[in-house]
Structure 1
Amino acid sequence: MKNLLKIFLLGISLSSCVDLDEEVYSEVTASNFYQNEEEVVSAVMRPYAHLRQVFLNFSTNGCGVFLLQELSTDEAAWPTKGRDGFDNGNWIRLHRHEWTVEDGSFAISWNDMYKGIALCNNLLFDFKDIDAVNSTDKLQYQAELRGLRALYYYYLLDLFGNVPIVTAINQFSPSNNTRVEVFNFIEEEILDIRANLPKKGDIGWYGRFTQEAANGLLSRLYLNAEVYTGEARWTDCIEVSRLVLGSSFSLEAQWDAPFKTDNYASDENVFAIPADELFGNDLQQMFQFTTHWQQREPQFGYQGNGGYNGMVSVREFIETYDTLNDARCFFDSRVFVPGNENDPTLLRGQFMWGPQYGRDGNPILGTNDKNGQHLVFELDVPNMEDGNEASGARNIKYQVEYGAVGFSNDIVLFRLAEIYFNIAEASLRNGGIVPQDVLDAINVIRDRANVPTYQNLTLDELYDEKGREMAYEGLRRTDMIRYKKYTGNWWDKEVSDGFRTLFPIPQSSRNVNPNLDQNPGYPD
């Protein structure tokens, strides 16, 4: 299955170069490209492959969805650490909610998502005249493309709110639609295509936008409906989430199984972006965001680029965990030393702090202000400007395969744990209690983390537990907004203005499209 997906994801780039005797066209058009099913499938895979970039794009002047959702919250920060991490002050402004309409992060994310929408629109236009596949498959591919387009629009809705709905290739300089209109468009699209999507267990279902992925998206959409539209949809959230529960997914026995190098085999992952160590290695960014470059070889044997020594979590967030017992929390670097692999006293969580050791048991040494000293990651970070090269805990939620040249772990977008949290929250907000089967499932999540189970749940505790379980999965900003905590104060961030719950429409986009209105609160 994994190898088939690699072929699919690479199809768009390989389909015209593997056969040296193939006919060469002077111009590739819809009429001469879609000659067989393989060419159709390779084209359909192109918007899927683009998801990796949308989620994990990064430069020193901006970023994709993942970093926007994490670095503007209490969960993560990218402080300046000596000579590392200033990057024109982008990450300082993002964390403190002091960003401007010209910050590159918003332009990068906006452009990436509209590129994905354009890919879908272009293929949907071409599909009207394609007869290289049968009508049933054609209907499914069209449904998948509309589903992916809806997913791109969900991220635009969540991040920017009032965005243009573009469904044709000849819509030029469109004006903003309201956030309510975008919400309704996503909902109507998903409900219209859902029955034509593949299901879990169908041939080639994994990594595709399935009926279960569609229901996962609706679950997240309805959970946030009150934020997006002003009208709560708690009952709808519960009902569509129940459809996912009935789809033969199951919680893993180990907390980190959904993030292992073989996580394509995890029954907990509802929708993931397939990755490849050589040809689809975007996940290495998540490793590089947080790790120190000195960790790369002695700890992980990683053959790719070293870490950026950038993204960290500070004491205030780390201590929302039971740091002594929660299996999701502390990662002891001594587990790398041969002979310690099965030592039960050495914890294998997702946050590295304290002294760092290599596989040979020797200390890893710093290079800048810690030059020649044992590298000891510090939970206490003074502020966003004055860190040192060892400031902050580092996250390694996704397993690093020793000696690898890249990451083959698939990027998880929806998993079953989130669905249980969604039902629990919607039930509590709807005036009820957490249903027993959902409480039991959340207790499975607690039990595998080696922490006490719940007899009952409050919204406040649910918020904390979801934060612990779903850390570094790109959900924190959305959750903080829904719980009305996003504009509050936390470590090195003062109370921010309410309009900051939406990012600004990028000024660079408004410069070329005068029909785009700016979101309220930002300078026009």
Structure 2
Amino acid sequence: MKRIFLSTFLCKILVLTSCTDLERDLGSSINKETSLGLVDARQLVDANYTVLRGFATQDLIFALQEHSSDEVIGPTRGGDWDDNGVWRVLHQHTWANDNNFILNTFNDLSGGVFRSIEALEIAEGQERGEALFLQAWFIFYINDLFGQVPFRENLDSLGDVPVTLKGEEAVNFIISNLEEAITLLPETSNISRANKTTARAFLAKVLLNKAVYADEDRIPPFSFDNTDLNKIVSLCDEVINTGLFSLETGINYYDNFAPENGQISSELIFTQANTRGEPGGNVASRYLMTLHYNQNPGGWNGFTTIADFYNKFEDNDVRKGGVDYPGLTDVSGLKAGFLIGQQYDVDGNPLQDRNGNPLVFTLESPIISEGPTLETSGYEA
């Protein structure tokens, strides 16, 4: 009976008060100026560097740039890697507008642009330079992949439809960002943070592609401006004249992909920091996505390349693979570069696939593998 009485009592209260005008006095309010005052520019800029982790995974920018080309293919091997054909459609250029890789990549890069705009609301000096560089970086890749960039200059009217940057307008906006960034950034050799050298190198890349991006249909022939070409030469000279960078040769080429990141390579200009014990991108996907389950480390038996791409490398090119790399081959038995033919463990014992067949990677790489080469078709990159 107590429960019935209590329920009835509450109902009466609700009936009596339901027609009363309620004026809420929250006692406080917050606006854009107040909210931005809760953080400093350095916090916002540093948070934006974390968006770069999307470049290290196998299912965002890498998927769109590589699987849609002749460099990488994600073959279906039995029950592995079919995933309802999401990898296959990228390689065959048959994707639909609901492809998750495309949607997630667009959202990830757009998040970087948003964070850049947020930082630029309050950033000054070096922090402003870094925010401009990162904004240019994310807009460059949105423009490269999608051909148009939704953009807001500020966060005052998030409900309004953004402007859309296309063609020459988009590339000129990127260039203006980088040119201002160069005037604000420091001269430093920290290659995991934007500095004058990284901005100059990136600006050279943008100018090198300007004729393509300025052409809205991107159909050749393209008209390259001599002023832009001369500027590219000047920017590259400035980068080289720092004395900090040079091309790695021979086996040292693979220092570019070492876990230490830019600490041992003289070739890297801008990288994501890879520090033991600290959060980073999914860098491990770069080898897990190709290695077989029975290799060390055990991979996902996934991506490979195609014969035409592999055959573009000359036989004496160190990038063609099959070379010993210190700290890798002597630890796991793996070779650097393309993995070709019979694979071995660290003691030189030949490896097998899950069915007991020799683990021999072949040049043939059909989009759907079957038969005795089900797990071994295609050279692993």
Contiguous gaps of at least 5 residues in structure 2: 1-29, 216-222
Alignment of 1:14-29 (within 5 A): 29=35
Residue in structure 2 matching 1:78, options 74, 80, 85 = 74
Aligned equivalents of 2:149, 2:332: Cα separation in 1: 53
Aligned equivalents of 2:181, 2:168: Cα separation in 1: 20
Measured after TM superposition, the shift of residue 358 of structure 1 is: 1.0
Contact 1:275 1:282 in 2 (8 A): no
Aligned partner of 1:147 in structure 2 is 133
Residue in structure 2 matching 1:331, options 309, 313, 322 = 322
Aligned partner of 1:445 in structure 2 is none
SS at match of 2:345: coil
Give the letter for the 1:315 counterpart: A
Contact 1:333 1:357 in 2 (8 A): no
Aligned equivalents of 1:197, 1:176: Cα separation in 2: 28
Contact 1:79 1:385 in 2 (8 A): yes
Measured after TM superposition, the shift of residue 338 of structure 1 is: 5.6
**Cα–Cα, structure 1 residues 241 and 337, in superposed 2: closer, same or farther, change >3 Å?**
closer
Aligned equivalents of 1:211, 1:118: Cα separation in 2: 23
Contact 2:324 2:336 in 1 (8 A): no
Measured after TM superposition, the shift of residue 141 of structure 1 is: 0.6
| Structure 1 position 31 matched with structure 2 position 31 | no
SS at match of 1:256: helix
**Cα–Cα, structure 1 residues 189 and 332, in superposed 2: closer, same or farther, change >3 Å?**
closer
Aligned partner of 1:208 in structure 2 is 193
Measured after TM superposition, the shift of residue 334 of structure 1 is: 11
SS at match of 1:224: helix
Aligned partner of 1:263 in structure 2 is 261
Report how many residues are paired: 328
Aligned partner of 1:356 in structure 2 is 343
Contact 1:289 1:308 in 2 (8 A): yes
Aligned partner of 2:313 in structure 1 is 321
**Cα–Cα, structure 1 residues 113 and 338, in superposed 2: closer, same or farther, change >3 Å?**
closer
Aligned equivalents of 2:48, 2:323: Cα separation in 1: 39
| Structure 1 position 394 matched with structure 2 position 354 | no
**Cα–Cα, structure 1 residues 33 and 361, in superposed 2: closer, same or farther, change >3 Å?**
same
Aligned partner of 2:360 in structure 1 is 376
Identity among equivalent positions (%) equals: 28
Q: Provide Cα deviations, 1:11-70, integer angstroms capped at 9, x if missing partner.
A: xxxxxxxxxxxxxxxx99433444xxxxx54442111121012x1344xxxx31122111
Contact 1:332 1:352 in 2 (8 A): no
Contiguous gaps of at least 5 residues in structure 1: 1-26, 35-39, 128-137, 342-346, 396-524
| Structure 1 position 228 matched with structure 2 position 213 | yes
Give the letter for the 1:168 counterpart: N
**Cα–Cα, structure 1 residues 73 and 98, in superposed 2: closer, same or farther, change >3 Å?**
same
Aligned equivalents of 1:250, 1:338: Cα separation in 2: 27
Contact 2:57 2:286 in 1 (8 A): no
Give the letter for the 2:357 counterpart: Q
Aligned equivalents of 1:158, 1:339: Cα separation in 2: 39
**Cα–Cα, structure 1 residues 384 and 192, in superposed 2: closer, same or farther, change >3 Å?**
same
Aligned equivalents of 2:206, 2:240: Cα separation in 1: 17
**Cα–Cα, structure 1 residues 107 and 195, in superposed 2: closer, same or farther, change >3 Å?**
same
Contact 2:292 2:300 in 1 (8 A): yes
Aligned equivalents of 1:82, 1:195: Cα separation in 2: 55
Contact 2:325 2:336 in 1 (8 A): no
Give the letter for the 1:374 counterpart: P
Give the alignment's TM-score, normalised by structure 2. 0.79
RMSD between aligned residues = 2.6
Give the letter for the 2:291 counterpart: T
Give the letter for the 2:45 counterpart: V
Deviates most, 237-246 or 327-336:
327-336
Give the letter for the 2:377 counterpart: S
Give the letter for the 2:49 counterpart: Y
Residue in structure 2 matching 1:243, options 238, 247, 257 = 238
Q: Provide Cα deviations, 1:410-440, integer angstroms capped at 9, x if missing partner.
A: xxxxxxxxxxxxxxxxxxxxxxxxxxxxxxx
Residue in structure 1 matching 2:181, options 185, 188, 193 = 193
| Structure 1 position 310 matched with structure 2 position 295 | no
Contact 2:260 2:274 in 1 (8 A): no
Give the letter for the 2:153 counterpart: T
Give the letter for the 1:180 counterpart: E
Aligned partner of 1:47 in structure 2 is 48
- Bigger CA radius of gyration: 2
**Cα–Cα, structure 1 residues 227 and 339, in superposed 2: closer, same or farther, change >3 Å?**
closer
Aligned partner of 2:288 in structure 1 is 288
Alignment of 1:77-96 (within 5 A): 77-96=73-92
Alignment of 1:373-522 (within 5 A): 373-381=357-365, 383-387=366-370, 388-395=374-381
Give the letter for the 1:247 counterpart: T
Aligned equivalents of 2:121, 2:368: Cα separation in 1: 49
